């Protein structure tokens, strides 16, 4: 009895099946179709990006949103905007997707690449049961006869009324224009036009992939407002030892090791660093919109004290407030700091930060001042602080010092730098608030919020540059001057 002959699949069939099962294998095989004549230089990050995108599209994991921050030139657009939608149509040809970029050129470039890939003999060899629809086959918007669609647009366009299964954002922020107006326009477009264009919020996917351009770019916005809903993948140009955001698939172990050295050599990266300057390089290549070393307040100058040990004698105890009166999450919080002057420097001994209504803020200021008994309670005498100044002066005997401001926030920060770099600032070791406080200082003026910075610079500038012998004396002098003005007015 003859055994049945075993028919082994052809090498072409094996490769096709590998490409069906793996977005990474699909990308490798599709490369010659997408970039004919251009050699593909492989690197570990390509596998990481493909695996992260595939896991999201297949519904693995507990989050339906993925943000990936990678240096420029990482092939991210080819993976996300060209290969991913074409690969999905091998599995779910009725899948619809919306692809949003920061420019028409990029949006339509990748749309045409995706369409040409699908029309290639290599792709058609997979044997799709559908074909491209003739009634919608434009360079920025095409569909297939199974109902699948791929539509391209720009972040600042009027948008579309159509709902889709997947939304892809590819570099929605222009690295050449990080003006506040443009940053806010991109955020508004996301919030008001695009973020809810999914057919089903429970099964639809959103992918945002970009190089960081500013702390208020779209990545910064979604992580701050809705970070718990996003998986955040970060790949830096230069490896940082101890980096909590390092991806498990990153094989690097040495400080400063480059992420794609076979293409971006040390010479290439050094030139990028010179051309972009430290802040630009920190954002686009290190995915830190503020320089790792700090922009104005540099790392390495802070000192720490052990709050469990006896503290030195203090000359003055100052309380400083930066105020905001609204409770909504997107509004700025109010920040209070208590700092004490000693022969060694300025010790920050307490800190509070939160979004509070005006009544809650006023009561917090009173109770906190009662606990710390400051010699001066500093509040900026404009905008939201004016009401607090007036009511505390009327309702209490607290040593309120209205702070008159005649320079901008950045200038006030630079005025503190000599004290900072003289290592005269002390923070409590192990306090829960210290890490976030320092990161805001290091990121300033590119951080989303500057409330802690404002309270800090107000406190230090008062102590160092004009706070008088005691805040209480300043307050008493102001009260006497106010009484004289009233008497002169009566006379």
Place of tokens 């230090």: 460
Parent domain of 434? 303-490
| The model's pTM | 0.65
Is residue 366 a part of any domain in this protein?
A: yes
Q: Are 296 and 445 in contact (CB under 8 A)?
A: yes
- Which of 22-31, 212-221, 458-467 bottoms out in mean pLDDT, i.e. has the lowest? 458-467
Confidence of residue 459 (pLDDT cuts 50, 70, 90): very high
Region 314-320: mean pLDDT is 95
Same domain for 221 and 351, yes or no, is no
Same domain for 184 and 317, yes or no, is no
Q: What whole-number distance in Å separates Cα of residue 155 and Cα of residue 132?
A: 26
How many structural domains is the chain composed of? Answer: 2
Same domain for 232 and 355, yes or no, is no
Q: What whole-number distance in Å separates Cα of residue 134 and Cα of residue 142?
A: 9
Same domain for 247 and 325, yes or no, is no
Is residue 3 a part of any domain in this protein?
A: no
Is residue 268 a part of any domain in this protein?
A: no
* pLDDT at 326 (0 to 100): 58
Is residue 287 a part of any domain in this protein?
A: no
Residue 258 has what DSSP assignment? B
- Candidates 158, 162, 196, 170; CA nearest to 107 is 170
250-266 pLDDT, tens digit each: 999 999 999 999 999 99
Same domain for 28 and 84, yes or no, is yes
22-34 pLDDT, tens digit each: 999 999 999 999 9
Q: Which of 204, 227, 260 is the last residue of a domain?
A: 260
Q: What whole-number distance in Å separates Cα of residue 397 and Cα of residue 386?
A: 17
Q: Which helix (H) or strand (E) holds 166?
A: strand 166-170
Same domain for 212 and 330, yes or no, is no
349-406 pLDDT, tens digit each: 999 999 888 899 999 999 999 999 999 999 988 777 888 999 999 998 999 999 988 8
Same domain for 323 and 200, yes or no, is no
Q: Are 239 and 44 in contact (CB under 8 A)?
A: no
Alpha-helical segments (H) within 4-144: 11-21, 23-34, 44-57, 76-77, 84-91, 104-119, 121-124
Residue 478 has pLDDT above 70, yes or no: no
Is residue 356 a part of any domain in this protein?
A: yes
Helix, strand and coil percent figures for the chain, each rounded to 5: 40, 20, 40
Is residue 234 a part of any domain in this protein?
A: yes
Residue 178 has pLDDT above 50, yes or no: yes
* pLDDT at 330 (0 to 100): 44
Q: What are residue 98's phi and psi, to 5 degrees? A: -120, 125
* pLDDT at 490 (0 to 100): 45
Confidence of residue 333 (pLDDT cuts 50, 70, 90): confident
49-77 core/surface letters (b: 16 or more CB in 10 A; e: else): bbebbbebbeeeeeebbbbbbbbeebbbb
Same domain for 117 and 182, yes or no, is yes
Is residue 298 a part of any domain in this protein?
A: no
Same domain for 232 and 329, yes or no, is no
Q: Which of 226, 260, 294 is the last residue of a domain?
A: 260
| Half-sphere exposure at residue 95, Cβ-oriented, CA atoms within 13 angstroms | 18
Is residue 447 a part of any domain in this protein?
A: yes
Q: What whole-number distance in Å separates Cα of residue 67 and Cα of residue 53?
A: 10
Q: Which of 260, 295, 325 is the last residue of a domain?
A: 260
80-131 pLDDT, tens digit each: 999 999 999 999 999 999 999 999 999 999 999 999 999 999 999 999 999 9
Q: What whole-number distance in Å separates Cα of residue 12 and Cα of residue 18?
A: 10
CATH number at 60 reads 3.40.50.300
């Amino acid at each position: 009895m003859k055994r049945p002959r075993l028919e082994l699949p052809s090498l072409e069939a094996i490769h096709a099946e590998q490409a069906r099962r793996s977005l990474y294998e699909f990308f490798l095989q599709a490369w010659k179709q997408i970039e004919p004549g251009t050699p593909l230089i492989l690197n570990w990050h390509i596998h990481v990006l493909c695996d992260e995108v595939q896991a999201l599209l297949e519904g693995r994991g507990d989050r339906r949103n993925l943000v990936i921050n990678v240096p420029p030139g990482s092939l991210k657009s080819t993976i996300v905007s060209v290969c991913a939608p074409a690969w999905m149509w091998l599995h779910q040809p009725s899948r619809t997707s919306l692809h949003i970029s920061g420019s028409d050129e990029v949006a339509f470039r990748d749309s045409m690449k995706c369409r040409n890939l699908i029309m290639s003999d290599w792709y058609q060899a997979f044997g799709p049961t559908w074909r491209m629809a003739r009634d919608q086959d434009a360079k920025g918007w095409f569909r297939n006869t199974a109902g699948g669609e791929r539509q391209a647009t720009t972040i600042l366009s009027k948008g579309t009324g159509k709902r889709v299964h997947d939304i892809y954002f590819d570099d929605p922020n222009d690295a050449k224009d990080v003006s506040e107006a443009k940053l806010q326009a991109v955020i508004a477009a996301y919030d008001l036009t695009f973020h809810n264009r999914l057919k089903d919020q429970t099964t639809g996917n959103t992918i945002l992939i970009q190089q960081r351009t500013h702390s208020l770019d779209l990545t910064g916005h979604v992580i701050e407002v809705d970070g718990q809903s996003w998986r955040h993948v970060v790949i830096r140009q230069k490896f940082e030892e101890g980096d909590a955001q390092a991806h498990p698939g990153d094989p690097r172990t040495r400080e400063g090791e480059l992420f794609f050295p076979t293409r971006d050599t040390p010479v290439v990266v050094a030139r990028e660093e010179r051309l972009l300057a430290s802040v630009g390089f920190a954002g686009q290549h290190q995915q830190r919109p503020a320089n790792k070393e700090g922009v104005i307040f540099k790392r390495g100058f802070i000192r720490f004290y052990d709050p469990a040990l006896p503290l030195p004698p203090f000359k003055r105890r100052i309380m400083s407030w930066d105020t905001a009166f609204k409770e909504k999450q997107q509004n700025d919080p109010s920040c209070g700091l208590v700092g004490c002057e000693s022969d060694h420097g300025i010790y920050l001994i307490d800190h509070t930060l939160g979004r509070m209504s005006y009544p809650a803020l006023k009561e917090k200021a009173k109770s906190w001042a009662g606990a710390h008994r400051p010699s001066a309670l500093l509040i900026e005498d404009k905008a939201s602080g004016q009401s607090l100044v007036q009511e505390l002066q009327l309702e209490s005997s607290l040593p309120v010092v209205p702070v008159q401001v005649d320079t901008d926030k950045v200038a006030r920060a630079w005025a503190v730098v000599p004290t900072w770099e003289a290592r005269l600032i002390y923070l409590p070791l192990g306090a829960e608030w210290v890490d976030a406080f320092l990161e805001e200082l290091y990121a300033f003026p590119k951080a989303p919020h500057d409330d802690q910075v404002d309270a800090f610079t107000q406190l230090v500038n008062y102590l160092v540059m004009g706070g008088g012998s005691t805040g209480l004396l300043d307050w008493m002098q102001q009260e006497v001057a106010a009484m004289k003005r009233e008497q002169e007015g009566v006379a």
